[in-house]
Amino acid sequence: MKIAPLSVFLEHGAFTTLDRHFAIRISKNAKSDSRLAGHAAAIASAMLRRGHLCARLDEQPDLGNELPPLMESWPSIEQWRVDLAASGLVAKDGAAFLPLVLDSHGRLYLHRYFEYEQRLADALRARVSNGHLRVIVGGPGTGKTTRILEELASRQRRSPPPRIALAAPTGKAAKRMEDSVRSGAPDLPKTASTLHRLLGARGDSAFFKHHAGNPLNEDIVIVDEASMVDLPLMAKLIDALKPTAELILVGDPDQLASVEAGAVLADIAEAASLVRSAETPLSRSMVTLKTQYRYGPQSGIGQLCEAIRIGDGDRVVELLDNPQYADIRLRTLPAKDALESQLQRTPTISDLRDALALDQPEEILSALGRSRVLCPTRQGPYGLDSINALIENQLVSARRTRPVVLTRNHYALQLFNGDSGLITKGSKDDESWAWFQGPQGTARKFPSARLPPHETAYAMTVHRSQGSEFDRVLIILPNGNNPFVTRELLYTAVSRARRDVEIWSDPQTLREACSRKVKRHSGLIDRLS
């Protein structure tokens, strides 16, 4: 086994300063019989940053296609086991409190994340066995909101009526959930909150007011857009529930997973599908909605979403080329020097221009929610920052008004990460106001100086668009083999649209995106199934 020295190994661009410091510290404290402890620590840290809960040591990790092999020959899993056991810093299956954990399947964890996963799996199994877990999954337009209303109505008929909390990962998703419940069932609970607010966030601390020792009072907690919830947050939510409380998770497991580590909803859905033939409590707790209600027979959006979901790139291109479906189109990606002029002629930009020409902030906010440009990345000529600048060049002269999206919470103002708003300049150059949607179509007004961090939002990243819906979306995908453009990203982008989708890219890029499925490493499926 030829192993690159740790100092050489850590020179690769896959590792951050944090990865390197952690690896060096582990290496210095490892017993002399171990040659791989530092290497393992760097890999585990780097994979966590990429959304994986663990690193699989039975195969060389994908730390970037641009990198050469990290070792001349990858150690076998037995070589890893023997070496790491000799380090004195790696626990077997979490049997001891040590910095790293190597389980029986060859998965290497940072100890804290092994503990999160184990706690969550144990809690989910317990709730499944006593009937206190319900999971409702389905694609766009399959009636998930209707099912939430039905679940609420059936439980409200109990005597005495249970205490119910409605929650979602982001403020934007919570607001949509609240509006849906208010319009669909005025007599049911009307307030939805972010999970952080429900649990009692303490600034930037990783700890919450509510936990196993101080549980929530609610009898039922319903979480919408559950695919966006990372594993540590889900573990903390379940810790904070009373043993008798019921948890209902609702979402689309085929969308992009959480920004942080884990893919809890997708893992639960996969675990349930593995044991469904056995009719286990886990499979019986899962409801999969398949009937499409949003898109009519002449619409291509629903068929496009399904083709992307199953990874059929040829079918995706065929649908986009079919003139029978007027609501979906594929256009050639413009050259960089033609990008601004091409943007100017799109219906999406016309919608934004018309919205900004309205008089009242309430009208502008409502109109801005109808169309959006979506980008997979921030950087580069086709990235978010560049596209926002080009659109602003075209629109800013018409009015001193621009749409924004918040990137941090401000609990005192009841403004949350992901909320979309509007900034208008007053008659004086140093005067500006921020407007955000309030109850029943009203607008809430704030001095813009009081806003939490925010960014211009003529265009949004696909990640940022999760939890939103628009009548029309324009999706700009740079051509070429881009590892960030995956099946989940394309599916999420297309499923934001209710009526019209236009994609700027080429057929091969779409085929490659459909073939590139994200798989986050974790042991949750094994622990549940």
The length of the chain in residues reads 529
Helix, strand, coil abundance in the chain, percent, nearest 5:
40, 20, 40
Task: Identify the pLDDT of residue 147.
Answer: 87
Dump strand ranges (E) for 297-340: 328-331
- What is 180-227 written as a DSSP string? HHHHH-TTS---EEEHHHHHTB-TT-S-BS-BTTB----SEEEESSGG
Q: Which two tokens stand for residue 215?
A: 């549980």
Residues 6 or more apart whose Cβ sits within 8 Å of residue 127 = 133, 238, 246, 247
521: phi then psi, degrees, rounded to nearest 5: -75, 130
Predicted confidence at residue 223, as pLDDT, reads: 94
In angstroms, rounded to a whole number, what is the distance separating the alpha carbons of residues 301 and 319?
9
In one-letter notation, the amino acid at residue 425 is K
Residue entry with tokens 């560049």: 386
Please report the pLDDT score of residue 278 as a whole number. 61
* Cβ(349)–Cβ(355) below 8 Å: no
| CA–CA gap between residue 34 and residue 210 (Å, rounded) | 41
- b/e for 402-428, b at 16 or more Cβ within 10 A? bbbbbeebbeeeebbbbbbbbbbeeee
Looking at residue 17, its pLDDT comes to: 93
Burial 278-298 (b: 16+ CB within 10 A, else e): eebebbebbeebeebebbeee
Would you state the pLDDT for residue 66?
47
Say what the pTM is.
0.88
Q: How far apart are CA 210 and CA 41, in angstroms?
A: 32
Question: What tokens appear for 528 in the block?
Answer: 């549940």
What one-letter code names the amino acid at 271?
A
Q: Which DSSP string do the residues of 454-498 spell out, in sequence order?
A: EEE-SEEEHHHHTT--EEEEEEE--SS--TT--HHHHHHHHTTEE
CA-based nearest residue to 256, from 502, 505, 464: 464
End-to-end CA distance of the chain: 36
Contact 241, 216 (CB under 8 A): yes
Can you give the pLDDT of all 529 residues of the chain as single tens digits?
677 788 888 888 888 999 999 999 999 999 988 889 999 999 999 999 989 999 999 888 877 654 556 666 788 899 999 999 999 999 998 778 899 999 999 999 999 999 999 999 999 999 998 989 999 999 888 888 888 888 888 887 787 888 889 999 887 788 788 888 777 776 776 688 888 888 887 766 678 888 888 998 999 999 999 999 999 999 999 999 999 999 999 999 999 888 888 899 999 999 888 765 566 788 888 889 888 888 877 789 999 999 999 999 999 999 999 999 999 999 999 999 999 899 989 999 899 888 888 888 888 888 888 899 999 988 889 999 999 999 988 886 555 788 898 888 787 787 877 788 898 887 666 678 888 877 666 788 888 888 889 988 899 999 888 878 899 999 999 988 788 889 999 999 999 999 999 999 999 999 999 999 888 899 999 998 7
Amino acid at 99: P
